[in-house]
Amino acid sequence: MAHFVLICLFLCSCAAKDNAGSTDVPPAPSNSNKETQKSDLDNVQKNKVSISCKGEYFNFDEIGARDVGQGLNFYSIEKEIALGSQMAKEVEEYAKIIDDPVISEYVNRVGQNLVRNSDAKVPFTIKMIDSPEINAFALPGGFFFINSGLVLNVDNESEMASVMAHEIAHVTSRHGVKQATRGQIANLASIPLMIMTGGGWAGYAIYQGASLAIPMTFLKFSRNFETEADWLGLQYLWATGYDPSSMVDVFEKLAALEKRKKGTLAKVFSSHPPNSKRAGTIQDLMQCLPNKDQYVLNTAEFRSVKDRLVTLNEEFRRKDKEYDDSRPKLRRKNDDVIEPESKDGGEKEEDKPPVLKRPDKFHYIN
């Protein structure tokens, strides 16, 4: 027992030293050629405007081959997936998952395209929650949920993809389990006490299990983790072919919504809200991305899915009223949804090509 206590105290001491100099960004490799690899991202995190676009996170040709999840971590990939799977089951037990095949397939396809152009080391499972709250979150191990409220409050597919790319970046960087690791190290001093008071290892297992009931630990990240996810997510958005400036647009839009109506955004945004300062940081980083001839801004499929969500919400509300015995039962003469044909008899809405945006329309803030 004495040996165990000494080991725990040693780990706590190491953790204290690590946290004292930590910036929530994995340490750079020790060789001298790579010691400044993350300096530009560090400059942005410290509010320094000067960016030379050099470093480990600026090697765009190596997206997918990079290990952006380095750093102190008690969780193997297998344990991370198992943890995320358990939490995802809890989410699905209490949340209402939209099982409409058209919506589910579309959202999953957009997300998987982003994953393929990311640094992901785990497979992703992507589902939509029926909730008006503007939110999306990715649990450890690649279990991703997006609220219908987010889709209904953005204007195009590129804005939706911007939020998804940011959340995917949290998983590729392993932010959830890194944060959990730091929390566990801070609590290691209590482990010997639990064991000595009769709980034994079973008591510790119960303590571990209780932590699963607090998923906010894995969702509410430090400012530096959020900045890292902004930058990596911006790269994944660009690599997939979407308009990078959409990330600025959606953050400004979300900030305006929250300002107009407090509580519009999910609580997980409170630690690092999508304000104008954050949007300006993203604009600074955008200057490092190589230009492409065209970017996808929107698709007819996004508009179709958004309309379908509106229709489903109306149907849900109508069914709720029908089950309310205190209200009169009403039925419309015709509840069928008729697809409108184009006025000129030309191509239908879903057959139209995606809206593209040229890079010369970018407006950078220096």
Q: Residues 292-309: pLDDT tens digits?
A: 999 999 999 999 999 999
18 is known as an active-site residue = no
Measuring CA to CA, which residue among 281, 247, 274, 246 is closest to residue 258?
A: 274
Q: Name the helix (H) or strand (E) containing 136.
A: strand 136-139
Average pLDDT value for residue range 157-169: 97
Would the pLDDT of 210 be above 50? no
Q: Which residue has the higher pLDDT, 109 or 273?
A: 109
Task: For residue 129, list its beta bridge partners.
Answer: 97, 147
pLDDT at 135: 86
pLDDT at 21 over 70: no
Whole-angstrom CA distances from 304 to 150, 164, 171, 348, 351 are 15, 19, 29, 11, 11
The pTM assigned to this predicted structure is 0.70
Position of tokens 């409220």?
Answer: 149
What's the confidence (pLDDT) of residue 251? 85
The string over 109-123, giving b where at least 16 C-beta atoms fall within 10 Å of a residue's C-beta and e elsewhere, is ebbbbbbebbbbebe
What tokens appear for 4 in the block?
């165990």
Pull the structure tokens for residue 290: 């190589």
360 tagged catalytic: no
Please give the pLDDT value at position 33.
39
pLDDT at 200 over 50: no
> Domain for residue 64, yes or no?
no
Do 289 and 237 form a contact (C-beta atoms < 8 A)? Answer: no
Distance, CA of 59 to CA of 41 (rounded, Å): 13
Domain annotation covers residue 212: no
* Structural domain that includes position 142: 75-177+221-325+347-366
In a domain, 22, yes or no: no
Q: Helix 157-172 vs helix 300-322: angle between axes, to the nearest 10 degrees?
A: 90
The CA distance from 38 to 104, in Å, is 37
Is 8 a residue whose pLDDT tops 50?
A: no
pLDDT at 319 (0 to 100): 65
Q: How many domains does the chain have?
A: 1
Stated as kind and residue range, the H or E segment containing 146 is: strand 143-147
pLDDT tier at 229, thresholds 50, 70, 90: very high
Main-chain phi, psi angles of 104, to 5 degrees: -60, -45
- List pLDDT tens digits, range 23-45: 343 333 333 333 334 555 665 55
- Assess if residue 67 is contained within a domain: no
Considering 40, 56, 230, 284, which one is annotated as catalytic? Answer: 230
Split at pLDDT 50, 70, 90, the class of 365 is very low
Instruction: Tell me the pLDDT of the chain averaged across its residues.
Output: 74
Please report the pLDDT score of residue 134 as a whole number: 84
Return the DSSP state at 145. Answer: E
Angstrom CA distances, 298 to 138, 150, 243, 276, 354, stand at 23, 16, 9, 24, 6
> Which of the residue ranges 73-82, 100-109, 271-280, 331-340 has the most confident prediction, judged by mean pLDDT?
100-109
Establish if 52 belongs to a structural domain.
no
Residue 17: predicted pLDDT: 40
Please compute, for residue 192, the number of CA atoms within 13 A of its CA located in the half-sphere on the CB side.
Answer: 14
Mean pLDDT of 65-73: 90
Q: Is residue 141 part of a domain?
A: yes
Specify the pLDDT at position 205. 37
- As a 3-state breakdown, the chain gives helix, strand, coil percent values, each rounded to 5, of 55, 5, 35
For residue 97, pLDDT over 50 is answered with yes
Helix 300-322 vs helix 101-116: angle between axes, to the nearest 10 degrees?
Answer: 140
Q: Predicted confidence band at 13 (pLDDT cuts at 50, 70, 90)? A: very low
Is position 54 within any domain?
A: no
Q: How high is the pLDDT of residue 335?
A: 52
Of 103-107, 170-174, 185-189, give the lowest mean pLDDT range: 185-189
Q: How confident is the model at residue 356 (pLDDT cuts 50, 70, 90)?
A: low
Q: Which of 130, 167, 226, 243 is catalytic?
A: 167
Q: For 238-292, what is each residue's pLDDT tens digit?
A: 999 999 999 999 888 887 877 777 765 655 454 455 567 788 889 989 999 999 9
Give one DSSP letter per residue of 60-96, joined into a string: GGGTTT--TT-SS-S--HHHHHHHHHHHHHHHHHHS-
Mean pLDDT of 86-91: 90
What local confidence, expressed as pLDDT, does residue 55 receive?
Answer: 77
